[in-house]
Amino acid sequence: MSAKAAKHAREMLLKEYRGVLSTQSKKWPGFPFGSVVPYCLDALGRPLILISRIAQHTHNLQADDKCSLLIGERNADDIQAAGRLTLLAEARQLTDIEEIEAAAVRYYRYFPTSRDYHKAHDFDFWVLQPVQWRYIGGFGDIHWLAADSVPQPNVFAGAQEGGMIEHMNRDHADAIHHYLALAGLPAGEEPEMAGIDSEGFHLRVGATLHWLPFPAPCLDPGAVRQALVQLARAEAWPGSEVIQA
């Protein structure tokens, strides 16, 4: 049951891209301070955020790195019946130049406009290191999950993922439109692929992100290519089946 709950929790983490970050108030000791932040996942599957040095939550994290991130199922009619995920974490500011550069490349793909204000203002990347997860899938579906049970390292992170995404956006715009149609999602502005992991891929439509699952996990680029071709030719989202390169 825990493994299934961890998988559902990870899918929620992938499907959503914003949450409520709660920090320990520096100005009002003892009180939690909540703020809204967008996030994407880093190479190890942990939430990556970009926050301003003058923001209250940044001051709070600098004084006490313990925090939580609440993620809720988007567009839920009944928020008490919908899925939600709370991450208890220790926040760490990225200071190593290679870590910062890798974070920037990844984050900008998900949130392109952040490139401008990152340059114009004092913003820093922080990663939320999991301590514990609390996943609620609905009434009675409640789980405490270990720190390492939900995140999954992205086997394609880096140049390999970047190359696949560039290829899809440059040469297969029609396929990307088809994926959105298969999933019943509006295309709106010109959609682009933003990320690929072993379990699925992110498409960005304007400022909105959608994560779509592969029919089965893909552990190498050949399997990814086969899965994307299969989806491009499909008339309905296929059920689970083995995808091998």
Q: Could you tell me if 125 and 205 lie in one domain?
A: no
Q: Which CATH number does the domain housing residue 165 bear?
A: 3.20.180.10
Give the list of residues 6+ apart from residue 29 with CB closer than 8 angstroms, or none. none
How do the pLDDT tens digits run along the chain, 245 residues long? 588 999 999 999 999 999 999 999 999 999 999 999 999 999 999 999 999 999 999 999 999 999 999 999 887 777 776 789 999 999 999 999 999 999 999 999 999 999 877 666 689 999 999 999 999 987 778 999 999 999 999 999 999 999 999 999 999 999 999 999 999 988 777 899 999 999 999 999 999 999 999 999 999 999 999 999 999 999 888 764 433 33
Q: Could you tell me if 29 and 132 lie in one domain?
A: yes
- Give domain status of residue 152, yes or no: no
Domain closes at, from 146, 178, 202: 146
The tally of domains found in the chain comes to: 2
Q: Could you tell me if 118 and 186 lie in one domain?
A: no
pLDDT of 227 reads: 96
- Give domain status of residue 241, yes or no: no
pLDDT of 115 reads: 85
Q: Could you tell me if 190 and 128 lie in one domain?
A: no
Q: Could you tell me if 115 and 197 lie in one domain?
A: no
Q: Could you tell me if 139 and 185 lie in one domain?
A: no
- Give domain status of residue 151, yes or no: no
| Structure tokens given for 127 | 């990663």
Q: CA 81, 186, 46, 172 torsion: positive or negative?
A: positive
Q: Give phi and psi for 228, each to the nearest 5.
A: -65, -40
Query: What's the whole-model pTM score?
Result: 0.92
pLDDT of 141 reads: 83
Structural domain span for residue 64: 2-146
Q: Could you tell me if 130 and 225 lie in one domain?
A: no
Domain closes at, from 95, 114, 146: 146
Q: Could you tell me if 38 and 132 lie in one domain?
A: yes
- Give domain status of residue 242, yes or no: no
Q: Could you tell me if 141 and 169 lie in one domain?
A: no
Please, are residues 123 and 40 in contact by the beta-carbon 8 Å criterion?
no
Taking the chain, what is the end-to-end CA distance rounded to the nearest angstrom? 30
